[in-house]
Structure 1
Amino acid sequence: MAEDKSKLFLWDSNAIYIGPLSDNSQHKHLATQICFSLDAPFQILVEDNWRETKFAAIPANIPHQLNGGQNRIVIILIDGESVLGRAVSNLGVMVKSNLQSNIVNLPDSIESAKTYLNKLAAGLIKPHAAPLSTPDFDKRISCAIDHISQNLDRQISGAELADLVNISQSRFLHLFSQNAGLPLRRYILWRRIILSIAQISQGADLTSAAHMGGFSDSAHFSRVFRETFGLAPATIFKNSQNIQVFTQ
């Protein structure tokens, strides 16, 4: 039944996974991670100590390991180089047994996932920092993003995109980070991951999905996926019928 399926939401530089997560290997990744249990406490190894908790927030590039058994866990990944990712990372490691999400309704679409993340992150950041502000989106960057979306199966350079919108490469890279919330290289990589995952969820094998996303082969995609999520793609997608994937 649909309500028993795990769910994976992917958009911009963010991801939300809802479902069981058994023991994964110790790892670190470029994403800032927020996780909390919907059921019993989970175990987490961070800063060389195993702890039992129902909530944890882990900055980017901090080694950690998670064991949730068969309990449902919400795992939120925010690119560590994004504005929001840096804001949460600046809070440091947080492991709090009595701190849980006060958002009752779990997301069931990309739009509700965005709202879910913003409310949760705001609740964490608000006591410690000023509200985040974002500039009006530059039309030149919108044009560049459209070009990226249409050419993810090949290499795309900053010079190519700067020429497209008729500004210098250095100016373009600055504007892109300012508007998109993360550097160009990270943005393109994230979009390729999302494209490959969407292909897998539609029945493609790893090799075909990797090539469609612009990765050299399935090993390249699997390595990037593990660096991003801490798990091999085969672990998440070993039975695609048991997971719903939402992408933008």
Structure 2
Amino acid sequence: MQGSSRDAGRFMLVGPERVFYAGLLGRPKKRTLGALIVFAGMEGRLRLSVAGEPDRLVEAAVMPPYREHSIEPEHPSVVGVLVEPESVDPAALARLTATLGAMDEAALAAMLREACARLRAERPRHGLTSADFDRTVFGAPLQPRALDPRIARVLTALGERPGEALTAADCAGLVNLSVSRFLHLFKQETGIAFRACRAWKRARHLLNFANETINMAHLALDIGYPDSTHFSHSIRRFYGLQPRAIFSGSRELEIFRGAPALSA
């Protein structure tokens, strides 16, 4: 595509709890994102493939966290929203998922495209809070999850220190718990196993650098992968694309960063 990022309408707003993406999709294989995702094509429909279900053409769709799927759009660009599940009250997240899933596909696609147009016109500002994001996209803030302060502290560490190889033992020591008690409490509070959450947070951190010219091997080490092979495998599993394909399609993408999550 030609033109500047503003002309092409490509941008991404990345916060610790929300992501809004408007840009090229590429040709992803199966992907398994660690967040609730709501997506639509910028134009036309998407071919959606979900494990265990027949392929179908949709205008928009909602996918729960960690659900394997793939999408192929008729138009090369998509608009999508990611909501980190541990940041939202479980009942509120279930209501949001049900409400969006029950919407007419055309209405859901229109909602996403209109939110995209508002953000593009207003130019998303750095430091946008999750509550402000929710008002813009969903019409009202989503109720935050009431986390045990110890688990909230670990989640903050995972988000702020992705380059450190934080093990379950490290995190358990950080909050003065045994490893077994920590792992149980983490799953109980977040609904996600610690190892799966840590892998997703590390892969998610890639989004902050997607439009930069950067050495892949150095980036892999900087965001906590032991080597390029592990980096490539993890990114492909979560996003359905090789790291280089993500960076190639994001050269003209403008990235804005949201406000830090509030610590408990």
The TM-score, its normalising length taken from structure 2, stands at 0.68
The residue aligned with 1:111 is 128
The residue aligned with 2:171 is 161
**Unaligned ranges ≥5, structure 1:** 124-130
The residue aligned with 2:146 is 135
Residue of 89, 97, 110 corresponding to 2:105: 97
The amino acid across from 2:106 in the alignment is: N
Higher strand proportion: 1
8 A contact 1:35–1:55 mirrored in 2:
yes
Structure 1 segment 73-222 matched on structure 2, within 5 A: 73-78=78-83, 87=94, 96-100=104-108, 101-102=110-111, 104-106=114-116, 107=119, 108-109=124-125, 111=128, 115-117=132-134, 134-135=145-146, 138=149, 140-141=150-151, 143-145=153-155, 147-148=157-158, 151-173=161-183, 176=186, 182-199=192-209, 201-222=211-232
Partner of 1:221, secondary structure, is helix
8 A contact 1:29–1:229 mirrored in 2:
yes
Q: Decide whether aligned partners of structure 1 residues 181 and 12 sit closer, same or farther in structure 2, where only a CA change above 3 A counts.
A: farther
The residue aligned with 1:225 is 235
Partner of 2:229, secondary structure, is helix
Deviation at 1:48, TM superposition (A): 1.9
- Give distance in 1, aligned partners of 2:103 and 2:197: 29
Deviation at 1:70, TM superposition (A): 3.4
**Unaligned ranges ≥5, structure 2:** 259-264
State the superposition RMSD in angstroms.
Answer: 3.9
Deviation string 1:29-86 (CA, Å, 9 cap, x unpaired) is: 54443212333333333422231x3211123454433222435321233456775787
Structure showing greater relative contact order (alpha-carbon pairs closer than 8 Å, 6 or more residues apart): 2
Partner of 1:39, secondary structure, is coil
- Give distance in 2, aligned partners of 1:149 and 1:81: 12
Aligned residues between the structures: 239
- Give distance in 2, aligned partners of 1:122 and 1:182: 27
Q: Decide whether aligned partners of structure 1 residues 211 and 60 sit closer, same or farther in structure 2, where only a CA change above 3 A counts.
A: same
Deviation at 1:219, TM superposition (A): 2.5
